[in-house]
A = this chain, B = another copy of it.
Amino acid sequence: MLVRKRDGRLEEFSKDKIAGTLIRAGLSREKAEAVAEEVERKIYDGIETEKVLQIALEIVGKYSKRVSAVYGLKSSLLRLGPAGYRFEKFVSSLLREFGYRTVTNQLIEGKCALHEIDVIAEKDERFLVECKFHNTPIYTGLKEVLYSYARFVDITESGKEFDGMWIFTNTKFSSEAVKYANCRGLLLTGWRYPEKGGIEFMLESKKLYPITVLSLKDFEIELLLKEGFAFCKDLLSKPNKVREIIGKRAEILLEEARMVQEGT
């Protein structure tokens, strides 16, 4: 059975690959193999990879809400759009969970220009944080990393004290972007980068499930992020506030959040 990848190339469908992904997301080997078999029965020749993942996700949902959420993490990060500012709020919340004090959307005068800085994060060190959001899983490339570096140089040359520039993206970095950033001392955090500290690793290590893993409508995401709700656990800690914001659908969402957070 052939599967069509995003770049158009065809590839043999692999039950092992699907099962492996599910095991990494926390499903037992037995269940993972059962899901993979069920997926195989439902696909057809020439089906797109994305459609395969969607089918797998539906089947997984029957086994475990938690695994389904982890499995859906990547696409949940793509829902932090359409514009970038939702992602800025999200990154700011994520950094707070790791003990940083943060402020968003600051204007800072550099030596040669005025810069809009997405987030400033401070713990032992003080970082300029640039948030690069993409609503499709394309790479964050060299240009983004180049201008972030030029920004950092311009701001520090004006005498303002920052210890580093930190670039967050919800997708992957291109290899050229990684090479340049390492050479210039920029910190990068993206999908599966760095290997043991990517954005998915940061989230999973603290059981932070983005609210976008839930069956939220777009305007609900908007309202919740605006009020500082970034993760499922935030909803569970302030259920009354959620009821106030969302109205009737709040109970369904709270139940979904509970299942994701506690596993079922």
Interface residues of A (CB under 8 A from B): 111-115, 142-144, 146-147, 149-151, 153-154, 176, 179-180, 183-184
Contacts and interface: CB of A to CB of B under 8 A. Distances in A.
Nearest to A111: B183
Nearest to A184: B112
Contact of A147 (B111, B143, B179): B143
Contact of A150 (B111, B114, B150, B179): B150
A53 to B, nearest CB: 31
Contacts of A115: 142
A157 to B, nearest CB: 10
Contacts of A142: 113, 115
Contacts of A150: 146-147, 149-150, 153
A150 B143 CA distance: 9
B147 A183 contact: no
For chain A, what secondary structure do more than half of its interface residues adopt (helix, strand, loop), or is it mixed? helix
A208 B176 CA distance: 39
A113 B143 contact: no
Contacts of A154: 146, 180
Nearest to A182: B112
B112 A179 contact: yes
Nearest to A116: B142
Nearest to A115: B142
Q: Which of A111, A115, A142, A151 counts the most chain B CB atoms within 10 A?
A: A142
Q: Which of A114, A180, A183 counts the most chain B CB atoms within 10 A?
A: A180
Contacts of A180: 112-113, 154
A146 B176 CA distance: 18
A112 B176 CA distance: 9
14 contacts: A112-B183, A113-B142, A113-B146, A113-B176, A113-B179, A114-B176, A115-B142, A143-B147, A144-B147, A146-B146, A146-B147, A146-B151, A146-B154, A149-B150
Nearest to A180: B113
Given A150-B149, A150-B150, A183 B143 contact: no
Nearest to A114: B176
Contacts of A147: 143-144, 146-147, 150
